[in-house]
Amino acid sequence: MPADETAAGLPMGSQPATPPPAAPEPAPVKYERLLLRHRDIPDLHRLEVYRQHGGYQAFKQVVTTLTPKQVIDEVRASGLRGRGGAGFPTGVKWSFLTKDSYPRYLVANSDESEPGTFKDREILERNPHQFLEGVMIAAYAAEAHLAYNYMRGEFWDIALRLDAVLDELRQAGLLGQNLFGTSYSLDIHNHLGAGAYICGEESALLESLEGKLGQPRLKPPFPADKGLYQKPTVVNNTETLTNVPMIMARGAAWYKTIGTEKSPGPKIFCLSGHVKRPGNYELPLGTTFRHLIYDLGGGVPSGKPVKAILTAGASSTVLASSDELLDTPMDYESVAARGGALGSASIIVLDESVDLAWLTLKTSRFFKHESCGKCTPCREGTYWMLNILERVNKGNADKADVDLLQTVALQIQGKCLCPLGEFSVTPVLSGLQKFRADFDGHTRDGKGAPAKPSAARPAGTAARPAARKAEPTPAGD
Amino acid sequence: MADNVTLTIDGARVTVPKGTLIVDAAKRLGNDIPVFCYHPKLQPVGMCRMCLVEVGRVQRDRASGQVIVDENGQPRVVMAPKLETACTTPVEEGMVVIGASGRVKEARDDILEFLLTSHPLDCPVCDKGGECPLQNLTIAHGPGQSRFIFEEKFRLAKQLPLGELIYLDRERCIQCARCIRFQNDIVDDRVLSFYERGRHLEIITCSEPGFDSKFSGNTTDICPVGALTTTDFRFEARPWEMNMAASICPHCPVGCNLTLNTRREARSGGQMVIKRVMPRQNEQVNEIWVCDKGRFGHHYASSSDRLTRPLVRRDGKLLEAAWEEALELAAGQLKAAGAGLAGLAGGRLSNEDLYNFRQVVTGLGGSAALNTRMGGAEQTQQVGVGLGTNFAEMGPGTAILVVASDLEEEAPIWWLRVKQAAERGATLIVANGRPTKTDRAARYVIRYAYGQEVATVLGMLVTGSSEAAEALARAENSVILFGREGLDFAGSTALAQACANLLIATNHYGRPNNGLVGVWPDANTQGAWDMGLPARGQAVLPVGATASWIVAADPVGDGEISAEALRAAGFVVVQELFLTPTAQAADVVLPAASWVEREGTFTNGERRVQRFYPAITMKGRPDFQIAAEIGARAGLSVSSHAAQIMLAIAENVPAYAGLTYQKLTEVVKQWPEVGGRDLYYGGASYTNRQGLGVQVPSAAERGADITAGKLAAPPPPARNGLTLVPVTVLYDRSTTFVRSQVMHPYVPRPYVELNTADAARLDIQDGDTVTVEAAGVRVTLTARVDGRAPEGVALMPADLGPAVPAVAGPATIQKG
């Protein structure tokens, strides 16, 4: 469960062992939560409470007074960008729908499977109506009469509750035929995936939703042209859609006052790793890492300095920590300027005890496990990288194997069918680039590398049975 | 031209139709971009990533859409930052493609190394070795040394049978999905699938029984590695030690072009034997496919029970005799019979056999007939499909009517081609008394009561009688395929006439992609008619016959005449491959050579004359030669050389005028290119270098006056109780198929299929033993109750052993 953070942003409880941050502390900003409103409004997940707080007014207003195009224009004007990771402007995405092609579908991507990402879960559990209202408004804008909420299979308990919520909405006349006396009709269905990371990729999600094996499709055509059942489809992240009712209720101009010019609006940052108070923190885009990690997250429990930060879960570039990084605003452009990507804003904090060879073993194991197998470089390359990293971590490798790891990662890069394979190499390549010594320190011929055992290493990992001696390549192979 | 696009690939300019993929455009230039997952007959998927190329595109101004030009006035081309897959990227005007750069070479090397990391590299024991795209591309791109540790290779148990015919080696599989896509896209038998994911991704069969498809063998041709092999061929021979002989499939009227791979081997007594049957490309006939009956149904030729020596009856027993003695005896007796000589030939014989046979029989004063239960060839001779007809060209604007035929069981490749025409937009109308797989692709399904076939087609002559009739009448092109389900000779002849009348009334004949096609029971039924053999009557032998000469027909075995009755009609000469029940009743048995041992031509259902060649050591003598030798001994001069006989045919059969063996050997370059040195592109199917065949013109195209034939719809049959309908199944127990033991698991035991309601009324459960009595036939067999037979109809497959009635008719069925 996410920890509560204080609005004042000051850490409470145990005394941080770190010296105060070097940069001057910005004045804490009193910030109105828009996406995690349930933290301020008890029982917001109940329909009557949500309606008491203006719920579904925006949807009614949209359906009864606006054209779909007006909705798209408003969302476009708000500058809302996709919160799933890519940060593509939402209103622009909606405007790409192929003209005069019907039926159309709206699909909410609640697959949330990036390691370290747990924002959509909280929305679905605690603030489901705001999300569903977003789905409804987006469906109206897309001229879709059917919307699907695709959730990862592990969300089965949430799906059960959301099924009841949808029934309630149907009974309340908020879903169904001829809504508010207009000609517009809409229904929403929940759909559970079967436990595959790749189904968070929109085209694999659509395949899965169609009942097929979850493998990504070729692009183009994009979903806006040929999506679900080859019909124009909008696929939006859950958090993105949760922004929409607020935009429609209060207007694009108001929305743009939050965040930065190019990255407007609020964002939920999923803070985890070596911080005292991990959890979801809703903040305006452009908040600094330092504010999140130290002021809100309470800093590093061990008091050690931060070694690196991952901003997008396992898909992240490893960002080596520095004062400049800590003072970087967390928005799409500023993080990109640092060589990373904000992605889904899963901020994983790594203190100095973390061994990057161990970390990339974890991420590689994840990607090897989650590779769909459709394209060669990802299927074979993730398997190969994992094999090398296992040998490195077991002390069963030479520096030449670390070189090979880099070669294999470069061999995957730029050749994959979808982003999964490309993501699999980002932590490896950036880890090697910035913390090569962590890898070399495990090797038989590595010298002077700080191969300290990681505090975060789960018990047992180091004590795996003695690994087989790496053989020189057999001549016949 | 607006529909064409000009681009540059590795410095060479090529103009191709809009929408062409880079890989195909390069192929037109002879630039072989390596591929594994891409196949020109399948939709691109871009999975294997082998075909990565550098792509540059002409820059356009975003606002105006105008091409941006550089200082030299040339369109500015900007290379894409990432490599792109040539198999999924369509060409664009002015595009620049680079495949010959170091960057691309490196990328291909990289992908190949990835593919090899988990590959077992067991080429020395792999059946694909020698014709393997992965092997060839490894030589071109593979590293000399592996950087992957051998022990870390992904291992799986080998030799996983997917069905009775196809084995899967999961270690060799490179997950290109060609097999899955072939089954889904080309065949629509969705029996293969991926299972698991990532490195564990593997092919599984999801049908029961496994790999339940009549086209499964094709997946082994297009598999770019040795992952899929056939039960029939695995571990049998290496590709480079086999010879190739062009052939034509003898099993159905489609006339699929084949290449027979043969080898002289010790274990076969030093004889040349067929090791495997491969498709040979003919885009107008079978493209690059062949059904499993054609692929695995060749074993009868090398069966150990083939007749090799003539037999002569002495003291009531058939004893081996010298050729000379047997021929003398036969010729003397047949000549003596004169007008009493009754000749009967089967539709699996070649045109040369049939022509010579007729020449000799009629020369001796006798009468020759074709042993068939299906009529309608006079109609196909009149208004058969026009010259240049090609199912692959049919699409929007074409209507196809399939009537009284279960295409997948009777002419499997036509089912694929008709289905694909329908998918391209042709209007498929299926009329039958029961559901068949052909219905799947149909826009209109007409369900008639058996006995109403002719009335149904004649009903379509009435303007506005149905949407289907309107669609057929209004279509620019219309083709009708008629079969014989539930019909006897008279019935199928009437149906053919009704179909001809419909085509004549709607002016759909005498031009390409218009006209009539018979779904004949044999490979050369059409040719037999063309050679001037009329169909035999209701009785096997005409009244007054005093001697019979039966070639490639088994009326005794088919239960149409008893051995006693046959022998009662005088001296019996039988020319056969095997000692069939008819041969056992003969006075002289002459061993015939099988189709793979001699030359000849078949005329397929689309009236394409196609040539086949000798492939293996001959047993017996060619039927045309036997006929010539009998003729010579009876004082008739008939050629015993196939090519010469064709010249005689060309002289005497107007539709075949001008045909020569040379003409039949002509080829043109076909698209897509298969079978070349770049096996990876099209698969292991063979390039056609031995002849595409020649279609012969219909009477309409030769200027004949075409008029509709008089025809009255027969009265509706009285419906009391069950109607037993004989149906065709592809995998049967016919003489030329039952000897392929590899297919036995797929040959059903004799059965009768009942509707659930009828079965309930008769208290019959699925699997019960039942007795069927109909039209003088009384058989005991197994009942199938699975809801596919319409109510009131019992379906009984022919050629599974028990004789079946010739025509749909009343029957009683009871338990026990």
Are residues A242 and A294 both part of a single domain?
no
Q: Which of B178, B198, B230 is the C-terminal boundary of a domain?
A: B230
What pLDDT score was predicted for residue A447?
A: 61
Report the alpha-carbon distance of residue B423 to residue B443 in Å, rounded: 10
Three-state SS at A146: strand
Are residues A434 and A301 both part of a single domain?
no
The string of pLDDT tens digits covering residues A130-161 is 999 999 999 999 999 999 999 999 999 999 99
CATH number at residue A141: 3.40.50.11540
Are residues B362 and B488 both part of a single domain?
no
Contact list in A for residue B151 (CB cut-off 8 A) is: 468, 471
Average pLDDT estimate for B192-213: 95
Are residues B729 and B762 both part of a single domain?
yes
- Inside any domain, residue B55: yes
What pLDDT score was predicted for residue B327?
A: 98
Q: Which of B519, B549, B568 is the C-terminal boundary of a domain?
A: B519
Report the alpha-carbon distance of residue B668 to residue A230 in Å, rounded: 39
pLDDT confidence of B64, banded at 50, 70, 90?
confident
Q: Name the least confident of A268-272, B436-440, B710-714.
A: B710-714
Are residues B123 and B98 both part of a single domain?
no
- Inside any domain, residue A457: no
pLDDT confidence of B140, banded at 50, 70, 90?
confident
Q: Which helix (H) or strand (E) holds A164?
A: helix A156-171
- Inside any domain, residue A210: yes
- Inside any domain, residue B683: no
Are residues B572 and B587 both part of a single domain?
yes
CATH number at residue A384: 1.20.1440.230
Are residues A343 and A374 both part of a single domain?
no
Three-state SS at B112: helix
Residue B253: is its pLDDT beyond 80? Answer: yes
What pLDDT score was predicted for residue A458?
A: 37
Are residues B76 and B124 both part of a single domain?
no
Q: Name the least confident of A109-113, B2-6, B396-400, B633-637.
A: B2-6
Report the alpha-carbon distance of residue B561 to residue A349 in Å, rounded: 91
Report the alpha-carbon distance of residue B433 to residue B719 in Å, rounded: 14
Are residues A83 and A109 both part of a single domain?
yes
Average pLDDT estimate for B245-269: 96
pTM of the model: 0.93
Are residues A155 and A238 both part of a single domain?
yes
Place of tokens 């303007």: B463
Contact list in B for residue A372 (CB cut-off 8 A) is: 197-198, 201
Are residues A407 and A333 both part of a single domain?
no
What pLDDT score was predicted for residue B181?
A: 98
Average pLDDT estimate for B13-39: 96
Are residues B438 and B542 both part of a single domain?
no
Do B193 and A470 lie within an 8 Å CB cutoff? no
DSSP state of B36: S
- Inside any domain, residue B262: no
The string of pLDDT tens digits covering residues A335-386 is 999 999 999 999 999 999 999 999 999 999 999 999 999 999 999 999 999 9
- Inside any domain, residue B639: yes
Do B199 and A417 lie within an 8 Å CB cutoff? no
What pLDDT score was predicted for residue B464?
A: 83
Closest CB from B46, B150, B193 relative to A474: B150
* A3 contacts: CB under 8 Å, gap ≥ 6: A277, A278, A279
CA distance to partner chain A, nearest, from residue B38 (Å) = 13
Mutation for testing the B interface, residue in A197, A215, A375 having most B CBs under 10 Å = A375
Are residues A61 and A188 both part of a single domain?
yes
What pLDDT score was predicted for residue A13?
A: 36
Average pLDDT estimate for B214-229: 97
Residue B642: is its pLDDT beyond 80? Answer: yes
Do A414 and B82 lie within an 8 Å CB cutoff? yes
Q: Which of A306, A321, A351 is the C-terminal boundary of a domain?
A: A351
- Inside any domain, residue B669: no
Do B110 and A377 lie within an 8 Å CB cutoff? yes
Domain that holds residue A84: 31-256
Are residues B48 and B12 both part of a single domain?
yes
CA distance to partner chain A, nearest, from residue B199 (Å) = 5
Do A376 and B52 lie within an 8 Å CB cutoff? no
Do A375 and B47 lie within an 8 Å CB cutoff? yes
Contact list in B for residue A370 (CB cut-off 8 A) is: 197-198
Are residues A201 and A309 both part of a single domain?
no
The string of pLDDT tens digits covering residues B286-297 is 999 999 999 999
Average pLDDT estimate for B683-703: 96
Are residues B581 and B490 both part of a single domain?
no
What pLDDT score was predicted for residue A29?
A: 55
Are residues A303 and A408 both part of a single domain?
no
Are residues B508 and B567 both part of a single domain?
no
- Inside any domain, residue B194: yes
Report the alpha-carbon distance of residue B377 to residue B381 in Å, rounded: 6
CATH number at residue B25: 3.10.20.740
Mutation for testing the A interface, residue in B146, B148, B155 having most A CBs under 10 Å = B148
The string of pLDDT tens digits covering residues B579-620 is 999 999 999 999 999 999 999 999 999 999 999 999 999 999
| Residue A360 region by backbone torsions, left for phi larger than 0, else alpha for psi between -120 and 50, else beta | alpha
How many domains, chain A?
3
What pLDDT score was predicted for residue B644?
A: 97
Contact list in B for residue A215 (CB cut-off 8 A) is: 194
Hey, what are A329's tokens? 């605003």
Are residues B387 and B364 both part of a single domain?
no
Helices (H), A54-145: 57-65, 68-78, 90-95, 119-126, 128-142
Q: Which of B178, B199, B230 is the C-terminal boundary of a domain?
A: B230
Q: Which residues of chain A have pLDDT under 70?
A: 1-29, 447-477
How many domains, chain B?
5
CATH number at residue A327: 3.10.20.600
Cβ(A341)–Cβ(A391) below 8 Å: no
Contact list in A for residue B83 (CB cut-off 8 A) is: 414-415
pLDDT confidence of B144, banded at 50, 70, 90?
confident
- Inside any domain, residue A447: no
Contact list in A for residue B197 (CB cut-off 8 A) is: 196, 198, 213-214, 370-373
Burial readout A269-287 (b: 16 or more C-beta within 10 A, e: otherwise): bbbbbbbbbbbbbbbbbbb
Are residues B99 and B180 both part of a single domain?
no
Q: For residue B178, which of B135, B219, B227, B132 has the smallest C-alpha distance?
A: B219
What pLDDT score was predicted for residue B715?
A: 81
Please give the C-alpha separations between residue B530 and each of B257, B496, B608, B656, B814, in angstroms, as whole numbers: 21, 16, 12, 9, 44
Q: At what angle do helices A119-126 and A238-250 cross, to 10 degrees?
A: 60
**Chain A: residue nearest B146 by CA?**
A477
Are residues B547 and B656 both part of a single domain?
yes
Are residues A209 and A93 both part of a single domain?
yes
What pLDDT score was predicted for residue B432?
A: 97
Considering only CB atoms, which residues of chain B are within 8 Å of chain A?
A: 44-50, 52, 82-83, 88, 107, 110-111, 113-115, 117-118, 121, 145-152, 154, 174-175, 193-194, 196-201
Contact list in B for residue A468 (CB cut-off 8 A) is: 151
CATH number at residue B511: 3.40.228.10
CATH number at residue B137: 3.30.70.20
Mutation for testing the A interface, residue in B110, B141, B170, B178 having most A CBs under 10 Å = B110
Contact list in B for residue A380 (CB cut-off 8 A) is: 114-115, 117-118, 199
- Inside any domain, residue A25: no
Domain that holds residue B226: 118-230
Q: What share of chain A has pLDDT > 90, as a percent? A: 86
Residue B2: is its pLDDT beyond 80? Answer: no
- Inside any domain, residue B38: yes
- Its sign, for the CA torsion A22, A28, A34, A37, is positive
- Inside any domain, residue B761: yes
Question: Count of CB contacts below 8 A, A vs B?
Answer: 111
Are residues A368 and A429 both part of a single domain?
yes
Q: Which of A256, A279, A295 is the C-terminal boundary of a domain?
A: A256
CATH number at residue B809: 2.40.40.20
Do A371 and B121 lie within an 8 Å CB cutoff? no
CATH number at residue B591: 3.40.50.740
Report the alpha-carbon distance of residue A449 to residue B238 in Å, rounded: 55
Q: For residue B200, which of A199, A404, A154, A213 has the smallest C-alpha distance?
A: A213
ipTM: 0.92
- Inside any domain, residue A462: no
CA distance to partner chain B, nearest, from residue A239 (Å) = 29
What do you get for the CA distance between the two ends of chain B, in Å?
73
- Backbone φ, ψ for residue B386 (5° rounding): -70, 165
Considering only CB atoms, which residues of chain A are within 8 Å of chain B?
A: 196, 198, 213-215, 218, 368-377, 379-384, 387, 404, 407, 411, 414-417, 468, 470-471, 473-474, 476-477
Are residues A49 and A189 both part of a single domain?
yes
